[in-house]
Amino acid sequence: MSPDRKVIEGAYLGDILQQPQALENTLATLGSSKELQSLAARLGKGNFQRVVLTGMGSSFHALHPLSLQLIRHGHTAVMVETSELIHYQTRFFDSQTLIIAVSQSGESAEMVRLTAMNRKRSAVIAVTNTADSALAKHASAVVLTRAGSEFSVSCKTYVTALMALKWLGDLLCERDGVLTRRELGHAAPAVAAYVADWKDHVECLTAELRDIRHLFLVGRGASLAAVGTGALIVKEAALFPAEGMSSAAFRHGPVEMLGQGGFVAVFSGDAKTRDLNRRLLADLQEHGGRAELVGEKGRLKCFRLADHGDSVRSILEIVPLQMMTLALAALAGREPGKFALATKVTTTE
């Protein structure tokens, strides 16, 4: 018997369905201020020894693609959770460090402490959804997303942050801005086309996930953003235990958990390691494991992504996992994204 879909048709689903408009709003307003241009020029001249990328939760995971881009361009990029940065890695607060801090609210306990501890020693680029936040006021330059208000679990704020970070990365790496906008222009229509069939996707996923006990999300490279955020939102929105990790890490032990109650979503990712991820999928299936590919060649429609290249893939990869949270919540008969203990903005360390 199919679960009752009415239980999932609430504010969280509304946020998911509003993502295309949020992406359009963000792209339309992305612009390079004098302060941002100055920091990009200083980075290009070698005035900064390192770029520290920081955030918490999905904001932290969203930094994976930017980290890889900066490293490929020859910069030293370090990803650090803000909670660790402010207590154990405070030596990064100096004039040789450029900090890129991501926070949808800009008011989380960790970001507020960062502003107090940094005291303008490091230049800070804030990527936030809140223009008058503590983080935005402290920052040397601000990149605003236009996600609008959000019910609970990060969805609109996550995809718009990914878009803003891709735009910022291309600016810092001196890529043609016209080309960036042209590529990012595919994001909103692609997400819209996918979520238009949300009912079919949820029905497909309820059948796939009906009796699972262990959920793993695995990938490599930029796809680590999706597997990290995906595991987080499955726990937040559906109250179901999930783990996100690299495909290689999964082979180092957790593969032993394959069995009747396990399901592994393998992200195909970009060309560099796509064959390795597909080999993992084949090995899992050969040994009787339940596993599916998430990507442009996904077998199931609910896991199949439109092919718009690397610039948009990271944005698209999270949407099937949002559908997964809806399916798991429907199977449990609970409203997804309704917090009992957590709050939208974490104000206590």
Read off the CATH number of the domain in which 233 is found.
Answer: 3.40.50.10490
Indicate the residue among 185, 208, 228 that finishes a domain.
185
Residue positions counted in the chain: 349
On whether residue 279 sits in a domain, the answer given is yes
Contact 30, 57 (CB under 8 A): no
Indicate the residue among 185, 216, 242 that finishes a domain.
185
Q: What is the pLDDT of residue 5?
A: 80
Measured on CA atoms in the order 133, 56, 21, 25, is the torsion positive or negative? positive
Q: Report the alpha-carbon distance of residue 236 to residue 9 in Å, rounded.
A: 17
Q: What is the pLDDT of residue 28?
A: 97
Domain count, the chain: 2
306 and 226 in a single domain? The answer is: yes
On whether residue 3 sits in a domain, the answer given is no
101 and 127 in a single domain? The answer is: yes
Q: What is the pLDDT of residue 257?
A: 85
Angle at 98 between CA 96 and CA 101, to 5 degrees: 150
Residue-wise burial string across 95-111, b where 16 or more C-beta atoms lie within 10 A, e elsewhere: eebbbbbbbbbbbbbbb
SS3 call for 319? helix
Q: What is the DSSP letter of 269?
A: -
Tokens of 39: 């920091």
142 and 242 in a single domain? The answer is: no
44 and 159 in a single domain? The answer is: yes
What is the residue-level pLDDT of the chain in tens, covering all 349 positions? 567 788 999 999 999 999 999 999 999 999 999 999 999 999 999 999 999 999 999 999 999 999 999 999 999 999 999 999 999 999 999 999 999 999 999 999 999 999 999 999 999 999 999 999 999 999 999 999 999 999 999 999 999 999 999 999 999 999 999 999 999 999 999 999 999 999 999 999 999 999 999 999 999 999 999 999 999 999 999 999 999 999 999 999 888 888 778 999 999 999 999 999 999 999 999 999 999 999 999 999 999 999 999 999 999 999 999 999 999 999 999 999 988 777 777 888 9
Residues 6+ apart with CB under 8 A from 67: 53, 77, 79
Indicate the residue among 185, 206, 221 that finishes a domain.
185
On whether residue 190 sits in a domain, the answer given is no
Nearest to 202 by CA among 8, 60, 1: 8
Neighbours of 282 (CB within 10 A): 13
- Mind giving me the DSSP string for 17-75? HTHHHHHHHHHHH----HHHHHHHHHHHTT--SEEEEEESTHHHHTTHHHHHHHHHTT-
Contact 33, 20 (CB under 8 A): no
Range of the domain at 124: 31-185
Residues 6+ apart with CB under 8 A from 294: 219, 226, 265, 266, 267, 268, 303, 305, 317, 320
166 and 226 in a single domain? The answer is: no
- Mind giving me the DSSP string for 130-193? -TTSHHHHH-SEEEE-------SSSSHHHHHHHHHHHHHHHHHTT--HHHHHHHHTTHHHHHHH
170 and 38 in a single domain? The answer is: yes
Residues 6+ apart with CB under 8 A from 3: 206, 330, 331, 333
Strands (E), 221-320: 242-246, 262-267, 291-294
Q: Report the alpha-carbon distance of residue 154 to residue 26 in Å, rounded.
A: 16
Task: Tell me the Cα Rg of the chain.
Answer: 20
Measured on CA atoms in the order 277, 173, 59, 238, is the torsion positive or negative? negative
84 and 36 in a single domain? The answer is: yes
Q: Contacts from 43-48 at CB under 8 Å and sequence distance 24+?
A: 43/75, 43/98, 43/172, 44/172, 44/174, 48/75, 48/96, 48/97, 48/98, 48/123
